[in-house]
Structure 1
Amino acid sequence: MIRALAALLTLVLILAGIAAAVLAQEPVEGHPLISPYEGSEGGGEYWRFDEYALITGFDFDARAAVTIPVQGRVTKLDYDNPDDRSELEIFTNYREALDAAGYQPIWSCARDGSCTTGSSRNAFYQANGMRAINGPNSHYTAGTLNHDGRLAYIALGVGRHTTSIVIVETDEMDRDMVTVSAEALAAGLDAEGHVRVDGLLFAHDSDVLLPESETALTALRDLLIARPSLSLYVVGHTDMSGTLSYNMNLSNRRAAAVVDALTALDGIDAERLIAAGVGPLAPEASNADDTGRRHNRRVEIVAR
């Protein structure tokens, strides 16, 4: 009798798990951020929360897509293209609509030799299931767009017969509200010897700087130009999610990404900047809640 009850309970739990999985994935025809190209037919699926491998480059030596993980509300759409329209025409229409809405690209490519190679056209599908990038004239872009005060990641691929669109709506707030200036950074350095640099934004769990970081990078460049004798430590900080070794590595890579971005600008000498990461070892707030963790994820500059 006990064994029978245990078996019945196991069956109920399995069925409940299956039901939950089905409920988490819902069919959809589209998304309010992007209208399908005229004459396209199709639809897709929606997950209330999932992780998506956003393709942000292609490693031609490894013949594999470069990805970063992003989490949030995921919508995946696939549309059949009108037969009498080229990949370029369809892609250009989508891209112009995105740009008009404030789209910030992270990485874009076009055709073999830029997106993939002729012998590795299935790399996008292998990375995250994107169907569209499968021909010599395929086009792709990945970037971000502010939507309802939140940050949405967009992946758009257009191939000969299919357009694939993925939208990941995160809980990250609209970053356009952050303001930073060379004068404010200078005042912080003069007062404390170090200052937090708001507006340096990274893709989730990654050292990839988002396009919205341009304002903060410009302020840092202006500070370095205005004070030619100033040298800095650029210090990355994380929250306490994950292991210490992982966070130490991530914070160091993020600091190095900021240094690389600055030294790529005209007039900035690499010898004036040293990157370092301290992970979660110098928090500004409690890591017990989301608000504190968000505050602890930051980059600071320290006068040398």
Structure 2
Amino acid sequence: MNHIQLENISKIYNANSTQAQSALTLLAEGMDSIKVKEQTGYSVGLYDINLNVKAGELHCIMGLSGSGKSTLIRHINRLIDPTSGKIWVDTSINAKNTNTKNTANMQPTTTTADLNKDPVGSEKSSSAINVLELDDKGLQHYRQQTVSMVFQHFGLVPHMTVMQNVAYGLRVRKMSVSERHEVARHWLNEVGLQNLEHSYPDELSGGMQQRVGLARALATDNPILLMDEAFSALDPLIRAQLQDQLLELQERLNKTIVFITHDIDEAVKVGQRISILNGGRLVQTGTPHELRHNPADDYVAQFMSAKA
């Protein structure tokens, strides 16, 4: 079952609809994003992206700097709106019961077997919504209840304690102080920071700060987790430890995770499937084995051959 579907998503920056259409026409004729920029003056973020992310899947998006990775992930929670296309999210899918207090004891609703049965391109569920049609109130509810994000540079509030940072999303939901602190303590324990709840972000190492960011995203128990280069600012050893921790948590939580990285070793380690972008276009999606043995072009082959 598909949880997220991007349908013909294109993004042209700093252009009105007429200007964007001229750039899209050139892209449709096969011109690459660099030449489109030279000819029109408009930057191409994405062009005609069609991508399905399955429920319970850890899906990696990768490519070189400027390929459109961060632009793509920010469309899913509408930090960026596309120039054209639709973004479908099945809001009936919940990796866990929404009672966050009992998170550790609940069973996932989607199994690995279910994941492997669902073919790419299958029809979207009748319960899927086009998030581009949400009004302000609907978008706020969607961000609070469906999708969480972990940022590259942690995104912690410096004047809040670790506990307050982790509990922030629950505070927005108007959960009582005692309840949200109970949930926050649970997730701090899960990420190995159980004794640091009263510390402030600037008292922590980079790896610890990112664990706080991960705990904050998990505390809301939203079914979709977006991770934008979440581990790239960390030292290799800490990065490997957090990759292992993410995989261990995912084994139990069964979230739908979209994970942005420029590191093929990281993508192969954590991703069930990998989508590779080049110049704003989606070049190929597949398992690490499929990409390695059946690359769509030289760009994909070079990426896969770069794996240590």
Q: TM-score range by the shorter chain?
A: under 0.3
Q: Could you tell me the TM-score, scaled by structure 2's length?
A: 0.25
- Greater Rg over alpha carbons, structure: 1
Q: Could you tell me the TM-score, scaled by structure 1's length?
A: 0.25
**Which structure has more helix as a fraction of its residues?**
2
